[in-house]
Amino acid sequence: MKQLAGILLSCCVAASLSGCEKARQDMYDQPKYKPLSRSELFPDGNSSRPLPPDSMPYSKGPFAGTSSGRKGTDAVSKDIAAGTAQSNPYPVTMQLLLRGRQRFEIYCMPCHSAVGDGDGFIARRGFPHPPSYHDERLRQAPDRHFFDVVTNGYGVMYPYADRVEAPDRWAIVAYIRALQLSQHADVTKLPPEVLEHLKATKSGGTTQ
């Protein structure tokens, strides 16, 4: 009798444990379509839908490691490679500086100010003041430092990776360097015609 009771108890325990795996499904079992499977819901019979017009896929991390369609063996474009460059990969041209100035005035100037001294109107209204670009520490910082701060944020500054493309981040870096140079330029390295203009202005002469 005891043996029979033991067998029955073992069967009950086994039966109760058999349902433990699905006691909490967390949506493990649910109606869903696998990628590229067929569907009767859409006229074309495909469950995978095309992107809406004017939309852009976005994903963090290396593009080769995502489902963007690129193969890991494909060469990356110059713009994508810009995201891993250690120094500005773009030639510093007037066009680049103008683009950097435009992006800077949109995204950076409210806190950093027009001259980059950290006294923007957002900071004047109670937001923590960012450091001045003209501090010796930031004047000596590599280009990559500024690129990474724009990308990932720093302190109370939030990241702009999803707002500013990598080429535009480098354009901002170039413009920051121009702002730094504007306050710490070596006058002796100016072109002769510019130097003469400054001398004439300083001496009280009139120039056009």
CATH label of the domain that carries residue 99: 1.10.760.10
Model confidence pLDDT, tens digit, residues 61-117: 554 444 444 444 455 566 556 667 788 999 999 999 999 999 999 999 999 999 999
Structure-block tokens of residue 30 = 């649910």
Average pLDDT, the chain: 81
Q: Is 181 part of a structural domain of the chain? A: yes
Residue ranges making up the domain that contains 91:
82-189
Q: Is 128 part of a structural domain of the chain? A: yes
Mean pLDDT of 175-188: 90
pLDDT at 25: 60
Category of 136 on φ-ψ map: left (φ > 0), alpha (ψ -120 to 50) or beta: alpha
Q: Is 53 part of a structural domain of the chain? A: no
Q: Is 126 part of a structural domain of the chain? A: yes
Task: State how far the alpha carbon of 86 is from the alpha carbons of 14, 73, 142, 147, 164, in Å.
Answer: 61, 22, 8, 9, 18
Q: Is 151 part of a structural domain of the chain? A: yes
pLDDT at 64: 45
Count of structural domains, the chain: 1
Quote the longest CA-to-CA distance of the chain.
Answer: 120
Task: Name which residue leads in pLDDT, 4 or 59.
Answer: 4
In the three-class reduction of DSSP (H, G, I as helix; E, B as strand; rest coil), residue 87 is classed as coil
pLDDT at 70: 46
Mean pLDDT of 153-163: 91
Contacts of 175 (CB under 8 A, 6+ apart): 97, 100, 101, 103, 104
Query: Does residue 54 register a pLDDT over 70?
Result: yes
